[in-house]
Structure 1
Amino acid sequence: MAILPGFRPGGPKEAFVPVQFLSEEWTTELKGRLNATDSFKKAAGSASATLQQVITGPDGERRYWIKIQGGSIDMGQGEIDTPDATITQDYDTAVALAKSELNPVTAFMSGKLRISGNMMLLMQLQGAISELPKVMQEMDVDY
């Protein structure tokens, strides 16, 4: 985790060295913060899901995966076998969603966010997924 001395999960944004959006350091820090957040644990509850994120851009695709199980999250770079759902968006949409500048429903309805797979499961996870941009607001991220 890219941190400075004195790190506390959920601590001030200034306690972190900037991480590059969608980098391995970003997924590691985001995972650590989410797992230390009671609101995420409560929202995730006993749900179980495996998600694939695909971010498209001029330099190609970036992929990362998310596993939610037993109130905790695991994340990593690359592809995961047999995801329950795949969420695809371009880089600008991913940034806007991460910064809470774009509502996920609006992004989906306008075609900026494409979803394949188990939509019902994603609806059930809406509370847990909505914690991601909240936690990202506390991180020092270079976009």
Structure 2
Amino acid sequence: MGNVEFPSKEWAEIFCKKINENNNYRNVAKGWKWPLMFKVTGLSDELLKKFPSGNIGIKLDLFEGQCKGAEFYEDSTKGNADFILTASFDSWMKILTGELNPVTAILQGKLKLEKGSMATVMRFPSAAVELVKSAQEASK
């Protein structure tokens, strides 16, 4: 696969594909029916040159354990989803390298649920972990 840069449209598409290859996710995410957007803020100077909005969005159409599609927004305000999770580029990188657990990140306020019900998110902790595993696969 080679190094596909996070965040990018290519990365988002590979992430979606990896989710669909993840049988554990399929099993633990039954009941999840909402699109989810990952928002990336706190971009490096290098990334800001590419994405001047400073707010990138990766939206996944997640439904019953599958990813039906991914959209990439150079400006996350151009997209919307029932659930929006926001973190700085550094925090996302720590999550992608496995240095930071997503549930811990939420508890520490490094990963914020900007939109959607926290009670619903907390019903799917295993799904969150499996999504991260798929994201790590996409980043390899």
Asked whether the two chains share a fold, i.e. TM above 0.5, the reply is: yes
Higher percent of residues as strand: 1
* CA 1:52–1:136: 2 relative to 1, 3 Å: closer
For structure 1, the 5+ residue unaligned runs are: 1-15
- In 2: Cα distance, 1:105 partner to 1:136 partner: 15
Q: Measured at CA, do residues 105 and 127 of structure 1 come closer, stay the same or move farther in structure 2, by a change above 3 Å?
A: closer
Residue type at the aligned position of 1:62: I
Mapped pair 1:37 → 2:22: yes
Larger helix fraction of residues: 2
The number of residue pairs the alignment matches comes to: 125
Share of identical aligned residues, percent?
27
What is the SS of the residue equivalent to 1:53? Answer: strand
Deviation at 1:21, TM superposition (A): 0.8
Query: What residue in structure 1 maps to residue 125 of structure 2?
Result: 126
Q: Which residue of 1 aligns with 2:86?
A: 88
Q: CA RMSD in A?
A: 1.9
Aligned mates of 1:33, 1:39 — CA distance in 2: 12
Alpha-carbon distance, 1:109 to partner:
2.7
Mapping for residues 1-20 of structure 1, pairs under 5 Å: 16-20=1-5
**Superposed structure 1 runs of 4+ greater than 6 Å apart:** none
Q: For residues 42-86 of structure 1, what are the alpha-carbon distances to aligned partners after superposition, in whole Å with 9 as ceiling and x for unaligned?
A: 1111320122221112421111112211321132212533x2222
Counterpart residue number, 1:3? none
Distance in 1 separating the partners of 2:138 and 2:58: 18
User: Is the aligned partner of 1:61 residue 2:55?
Assistant: yes
- DSSP-derived class of the 2:98 partner: coil
TM-score where L is the length of structure 2: 0.77
Shift of 1:36: 1.6
